[in-house]
Amino acid sequence: MNLTDHEKAMYDGEHGRAKARAMDLLVRYGEALGAERLVETNNVAGAFNASTPSVQAIAEKGMEHVYSELNLDSDEVVEVPHMVAHTCQLITGIDNDNWELQGVDKALVDMQRANEKYLGRRGVNMFATCTPYQVGNVPVKGEHCAWMESSAVIYCNSVLGARTNVEGKESTGAAALTGRIPYWGFHITENRRGTHLVELDVEVDDMMDWGLLGYYIGEVIGEEIPVLNGTGRQPDLIKLKHFGAAAASSGGVEMYHIPGITPEADSIEEAFGGRKVKGTFRYGAKERRETYEKLQSSTEKKVDFIMLGCPHNSIDQMALIAHMLENKKIHSDVQLWVHTPRAIKQVAERNGYIDVIREAGGVVMSDTCPAISRRLPAGTKVIATDSAKQAHYLPAITGVQGWFGSVSDCVDAALTGEWNGRV
Amino acid sequence: MDIVTEAKPGTIELKGRKVVAGRAEGEALVTTETISGWGGINERTGTVIERRHEMRGVSFAGKILVFPGAKGSSGWSAYFHMTRLNGVQPAAMIFTRMTTKIALGAVVTRVPAITELDQDPLSVIETGDWVVVDADAGTVTVTKKS
């Protein structure tokens, strides 16, 4: 791989052992990809935290052991200097406030807090959310990023027009210390053009519609780049956040174009950029219904647990849920957890939304989600969620049955204890 | 048709590109389905756990893993990284579809890995074949099980 003088100096250890180990990983990774060089990045979103039992044995030796082994793939234990790139922590396994409700061991909570202290001082900003773009990290068009989290990657590439591949724990750890990532994949303009056309024969309107469309597209397209035609009404952050998370769950979609709406294409022609259209799919009432059916993995009407907020809720979603729960009480057999980034939780608190949700019997969670933590309320057998992503992962990971539907169907299930959703 | 290179009688040689250096040999475990890291494998046993995966319940520990590549969460590399720390990593990886997940995952699993082969490894190699991966030489040598 071709390295610049500065990169060579870092590789040779002139800027300390941590950067030397980080460069070693980036060179091994770049060569594995077949990349010719690295690209500068000043925007890293990764998983640095220690919150799982498997990390405990390493963390007991010291947090520099965790970073060296798990974030740099280094056998040599290095002192971790301050991050060079703007860096943030994505979602974690533990809600720092509601850990008891999650059933987390106190020793793990202490480990996560000690780790946050260690990383915080070194410049890893503790957003602790899967949606860094909701709480201040909004890259601009063309900005080279090194992000993990499939739902954030697809938003970053498609809606913001910034450039990132799906990075991992080790590559983000190395990028944060060097400000470099392999120049490969979505960093290169030609690789960002559309491959398949998706013609929409039905109007895609509310959040559930966008989730269904995303889940359908991921299934039929896999890892290709869809170009959507005929979406009708203007979507917003909430809808595209859902759409992308769904497409990245059922498939491996990391980039899409909606001509006239997403920033890299004003027309279908521009979206394909001269590339041959590999195939066309039509999404109509039949596909919509079939996708809805696929997302249901439950036959039991009685529900125990309602999960809202995946990807983490925006403030407007928090306002809507609070409005729906105003002066109401959720069913005594049901637990309701609503997930939002900690920064948005503070705004929701100030607006009184948290009080309304709490008074109705719900819990507002931050920092984590059930799929990442693998923790549900004890005894949960049947869940309902407004997220296609959670409906996809939770039954597979935790063995529960799942219902998927609109926010109002989920809130209705929380109030009645029964699922009565429909498409 | 002479696309099959006869390295020595009874063996087939495939040529490809090194992803991670090194040499390993062992029994092949072949799947035509991509594998998920996070949520798809048990990192303590090296076993595939994904529901509806054709290899569900099968461990790749010590095997030459032949597969299309990675899918799913960005936690792919972290989970295969853990299989190495737990001593249940595959002996080598042979795959057909390059992505950042599989590249980083192979690097941190630190096993010989190879791709861009001149024949489709998913059809040439079968589970149980004896396979030698020499990533530096860019070769995969297959001895068919009898």
Of A47, A185, A393, the CB nearest to B100: A185
B4-14 mean pLDDT:
75
Contact B20 A168 (CB under 8 A): no
Size of chain A, expressed as the number of residues it contains: 423
Chain B hits for A148, Cβ within 8 Å: 74-75
Same domain, A37 and A180: yes
Name the domain boundary from A142, A167, A189. Answer: A189
Same domain, A222 and A287: yes
Mean pLDDT of chain B: 93
| pLDDT reading at B65 higher than 70 | yes
Same domain, A229 and A345: no
**Residue A402, in any domain of the structure:** yes
Is residue B73 part of the annotated active site? The answer reads yes
B113-121 mean pLDDT:
98
**Which residue(s) pair with A336 in the sheet?**
A306
Confidence of residue B100 (pLDDT cuts 50, 70, 90): very high
Confidence of residue B1 (pLDDT cuts 50, 70, 90): very low
For position A374, which CATH number holds? 3.30.499.10
pLDDT for res B50: 83
A388-407 mean pLDDT:
92
β-pair type (B139-143, B11-15): antiparallel
Distance, in Å, from the CA atom of A126 to the CA atom of A341, rounded to the nearest integer, reads 10
Chain B hits for A28, Cβ within 8 Å: 20, 107
| pLDDT reading at A289 higher than 80 | yes
Candidate from A407-421, B31-45, B93-107 with smallest mean pLDDT: B31-45
Q: What percent of chain A has pLDDT over 70?
A: 100
Q: Could you tell me if A126 and A163 are in contact, meaning their C-beta atoms sit under 8 angstroms apart?
A: no
Same domain, A224 and A111: no
B20 vs A: CB within 8 A = yes
The CATH architecture annotation of domain B11-143 reads 3-Layer(bba) Sandwich (3.50)
Confidence of residue B7 (pLDDT cuts 50, 70, 90): low
Q: What is the CA A205 to chain-centroid distance, rounded?
A: 22
pLDDT for res B51: 74
**Residue A423, in any domain of the structure:** no
A225-235 mean pLDDT:
94
CA angle, A403 then A406 then A411, to 5°: 80
Best CA proximity match to A383, nearest among A300, A310, A313, A318 = A300
Q: Could you tell me if A233 and A209 are in contact, meaning their C-beta atoms sit under 8 angstroms apart?
A: no
B87 vs A: CB within 8 A = no
Candidate from A54-58, A356-360, B2-6, B51-55 with smallest mean pLDDT: B2-6
Contact B51 A70 (CB under 8 A): no
Q: Could you tell me if A21 and A121 are in contact, meaning their C-beta atoms sit under 8 angstroms apart?
A: no
A285-304 mean pLDDT:
96
Same domain, A144 and A182: yes
- Please give the sequence-ordered ranges of beta strands (E in DSSP) within B2-124, or none if there are none: 11-15, 17-20, 23-30, 35-36, 41-42, 47-48, 64-67, 70-71, 92-95, 113-115
Contact B50 A171 (CB under 8 A): no
Q: What is the per-residue pLDDT across A154-177, written as a single tens digit (0 to 9) for each? A: 999 999 999 999 999 999 999 999
A333-351 mean pLDDT:
98
Give the residue on A whose Cα is nearest the Cα of B43: A54
pLDDT for res B3: 54
B103 vs A: CB within 8 A = yes
A25 vs B: CB within 8 A = yes
pLDDT for res A414: 98
Q: Which of A171, A310, A372, A393 to mutate to test the interface with B (most CBs of B within 10 A)?
A: A171
**Residue A422, in any domain of the structure:** no
Distances (CA, A) of A181 to A4, A29, A90, A170, A274: 13, 9, 18, 11, 28
Contact B107 A47 (CB under 8 A): no
Six-digit token string for B130: 């004896």
Annotated catalytic residue, options B73, B74, B123, B146: B73
Amino acid identity, position A34: G
**Which residue(s) pair with B141 in the sheet?**
B13, B132
Contact A252 B72 (CB under 8 A): yes
- Identify which has the larger pLDDT, B143 or B1: B143
CB atoms within 10 A of CB A343: 17
A103-119 mean pLDDT:
95
pLDDT for res B88: 98
ipTM of the complex: 0.94
CA distance B86 to chain A (A): 10
CA distance B145 to chain A (A): 30
User: Domain containing A326: what range?
Assistant: 296-416
B19 vs A: CB within 8 A = yes
Give the residue on B whose Cα is nearest the Cα of A33: B103
Q: Could you tell me if B30 and B41 are in contact, meaning their C-beta atoms sit under 8 angstroms apart?
A: no
Name the domain boundary from A189, A215, A233. Answer: A189
Q: Could you tell me if A89 and A119 are in contact, meaning their C-beta atoms sit under 8 angstroms apart?
A: yes
Amino acid identity, position B139: T
Place of tokens 């995952």: B105
A33 vs B: CB within 8 A = yes
Q: Which of A72, A73, A188 to mutate to test the interface with B (most CBs of B within 10 A)?
A: A73
Name the domain boundary from A294, A326, A348. Answer: A294
CA distance B10 to chain A (A): 31
Chain B hits for A65, Cβ within 8 Å: none
Backbone angles phi, psi at A146, to 5 degrees: -130, 90
Chain B hits for A400, Cβ within 8 Å: none
| Torsion, CA A360, CA A365, CA A371, CA A373, rounded to 10 | -130
pLDDT for res A95: 97
Same domain, A305 and A285: no
Confidence of residue B146 (pLDDT cuts 50, 70, 90): confident
Same domain, A237 and A368: no
Same domain, A225 and A310: no
CA distance B126 to chain A (A): 25
Contact B74 A167 (CB under 8 A): yes
Mean pLDDT of chain A: 96
Q: What is the per-residue pLDDT across A180-196, written as a single tens digit (0 to 9) for each? A: 999 999 999 999 999 99
pLDDT for res A19: 98
B11-25 mean pLDDT:
98
Chain A hits for B107, Cβ within 8 Å: 25, 28-29, 32, 73, 170
A57-80 mean pLDDT:
97
Contact A168 B77 (CB under 8 A): yes
Q: Which of B94, B104, B115 to mutate to test the interface with A (most CBs of A within 10 A)?
A: B104
pLDDT for res A40: 98
Same domain, A323 and A279: no
Same domain, A181 and A200: no
- Please give the sequence-ordered ranges of beta strands (E in DSSP) within B1-146, or none if there are none: 11-15, 17-20, 23-30, 35-36, 41-42, 47-48, 64-67, 70-71, 92-95, 113-115, 130-134, 139-143
Contact B98 A252 (CB under 8 A): no
Give the residue on A whose Cα is nearest the Cα of B109: A73
| pLDDT reading at B4 higher than 70 | no
Number of domains forming the structure of chain A: 3
Confidence of residue A398 (pLDDT cuts 50, 70, 90): confident
CA distance A171 to chain B (A): 7
**Residue A10, in any domain of the structure:** yes
Q: What percent of chain B has pLDDT over 90?
A: 84
Candidate from A41-55, A66-80, A140-154 with smallest mean pLDDT: A41-55
Confidence of residue B6 (pLDDT cuts 50, 70, 90): low
- Please give the sequence-ordered ranges of beta strands (E in DSSP) within A284-391, or none if there are none: 305-308, 335-339, 363-365, 382-385
Same domain, A109 and A225: no
**Total beta-carbon pairs less than 8 A apart between chain A and chain B:** 82
Contact A165 B100 (CB under 8 A): yes
Of A171, A371, A397, the CB nearest to B104: A171
Same domain, A39 and A151: yes
